[in-house]
């Protein structure tokens, strides 16, 4: 039976074999290649050894490399209100672009425009010096007739405007009606030329039937309009035109110099019975044509100090809010004659001349009769 080799006998044989191999001669080319590659092998071996040690340490020790902390987001806060201030564009305060760059760039403007919103109801406004009905209306985006029909004391004469007065300002164009005894929705609608549904459907009213009407209660009438009732003024002299008085030519001149602040009426309807010409107090006022003085002095109709000239040809001219009068009733005047001074008497918010032209007692547009400026 063959003998089984042991581990010790195998080790001896392997050692003898290695000794024999080492004693064999080596090829010169292989020896030279090993000599050349030896430095590179040593270098890469050392690198691999270091990498292996690092991997071993990290895997055994559970070490984690440090990471940059993530920035924590703060809860948003409201920016301070910018109000209604207007800010200059950033380009006016210095550009961040290099000077040699010629490309046009749109810079942001740090201002938020808040759109106008519909008013939720009727508000009030205190008349300031220099205010006019049309100016107040423009300020609130309304037609100036709405200002008239919302304030009873202005309905028939817009010159009855006085600093300190409290005006009703509607949220929409129309009229403001104060409910009286025996009023009905149908009657109110007919007065303002609208439909009952316009009144009951208005979100600013709280009425659905006649039973909801209360005396003294005010209703907003959307799109409502009222008929014009001209002011009846009784001048000082009411007799016939004197036979020997000079008659006007019908060719008018401007009664004074200044800035037009209000025009006559509006398209299709007469309302403001004249034009307003603003200038400093004391500015001279002249007769627009020759004629006969029927009124010269104070009145109680809102005109303040007023001169009325009858031109004997169906035309009368009115000069209101004067500070001084240089003619008297019954006196004849020539075209261009100095008759008074601009003032702010009567219901007036600032120095101006209220100039009217009436033909057969009816107000007409002075701009149609005056020469171009």
What is residue 32's predicted lDDT score, i.e. its pLDDT? 57
Q: By C-alpha distance, which of 346, 348, 350, 319 is closest to 254?
A: 319
| Whether the predicted pLDDT of 265 surpasses 70 | yes
Q: Among 55-69, 212-226, 336-350, 353-367, where is mean pLDDT lowest?
A: 55-69
- Which two three-digit tokens encode residue 341? 């001074």
pLDDT, one tens digit per residue, over 163-214 is 788 999 999 999 999 999 999 999 999 999 999 999 999 999 999 999 999 9
Q: Return d(Cα 151, Cα 160) in angstroms, integer.
A: 11
pLDDT, one tens digit per residue, over 275-288 is 999 999 999 999 99
What is residue 159's predicted lDDT score, i.e. its pLDDT? 58
| Whether the predicted pLDDT of 82 surpasses 90 | no
Q: Return d(Cα 315, Cα 358) in angstroms, integer.
A: 6
| pLDDT category of residue 355 using cuts at 50, 70 and 90 | very high
Q: Are 170 and 205 in contact (CB under 8 A)?
A: no
* pTM value surpassing 0.85: no
Q: Return d(Cα 141, Cα 266) in angstroms, integer.
A: 16
Q: By C-alpha distance, which of 235, 275, 231 is closest to 255?
A: 275
DSSP 209: S
Which residue segments constitute the domains of the chain, with CATH numbers given? 123-222 (3.10.350.10), 259-368 (2.70.70.10)
Return the H-helix or E-strand segment holding 29: helix 28-61
CB atoms within 10 A of CB 151: 20
Residue where the block lists tokens 């490399």: 65
Q: Return d(Cα 184, Cα 215) in angstroms, integer.
A: 11
């Amino acid at each position: 039976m063959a003998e089984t080799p042991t581990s010790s006998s195998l080790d001896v044989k392997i050692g003898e074999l290695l000794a024999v191999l080492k004693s064999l001669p080596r090829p010169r080319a292989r020896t030279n290649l090993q000599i050349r590659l030896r430095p590179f092998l040593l270098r890469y071996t050392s690198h691999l050894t270091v990498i292996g040690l690092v991997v071993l340490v990290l895997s055994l020790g559970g070490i984690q490399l440090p990471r940059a902390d993530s920035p924590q987001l703060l809860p948003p806060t409201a920016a301070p209100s910018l109000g209604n201030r207007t800010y200059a564009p950033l380009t006016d305060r210095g550009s961040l672009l290099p000077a040699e760059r010629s490309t046009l760039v749109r810079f942001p403007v740090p201002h938020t425009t808040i759109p106008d919103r519909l008013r939720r109801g009727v508000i009030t406004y205190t008349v300031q010096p220099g205010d006019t009905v049309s100016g107040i209306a423009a300020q609130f985006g309304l037609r100036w007739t709405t200002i008239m029909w919302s304030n009873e004391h202005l309905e028939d004469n817009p010159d009855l405007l006085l600093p300190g007065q409290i005006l009703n300002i509607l949220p929409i164009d129309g009229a403001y009606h104060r409910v009286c005894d025996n009023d009905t929705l149908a009657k109110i609608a007919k007065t303002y030329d609208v439909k009952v549904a316009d009144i009951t459907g208005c979100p600013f009213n709280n009425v659905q039937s006649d039973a909801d009407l209360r005396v003294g209660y005010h209703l907003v009438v959307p799109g409502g309009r009222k008929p014009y009732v001209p002011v009846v003024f009784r001048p000082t002299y009411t007799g016939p035109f004197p036979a020997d008085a000079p008659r006007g030519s019908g060719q008018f001149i401007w009664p004074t110099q200044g800035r037009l602040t209000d025009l006559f009426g509006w398209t299709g309807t007469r309302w403001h019975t004249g034009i307003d010409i603003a200038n400093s107090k004391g500015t001279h006022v002249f007769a627009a044509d020759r004629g006969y003085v029927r009124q010269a002095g104070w009145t109680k109709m809102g005109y303040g100090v007023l001169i009325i000239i009858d031109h004997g040809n169906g035309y009368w001219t009115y000069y209101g809010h004067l500070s001084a009068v240089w003619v008297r009733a019954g006196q004849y005047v020539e075209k261009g004659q100095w008759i008074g001074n601009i003032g702010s008497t009567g219901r007036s918010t600032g120095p101006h001349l209220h100039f009217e032209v009436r033909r057969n007692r009816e107000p007409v547009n002075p701009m149609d009769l005056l020469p171009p400026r």
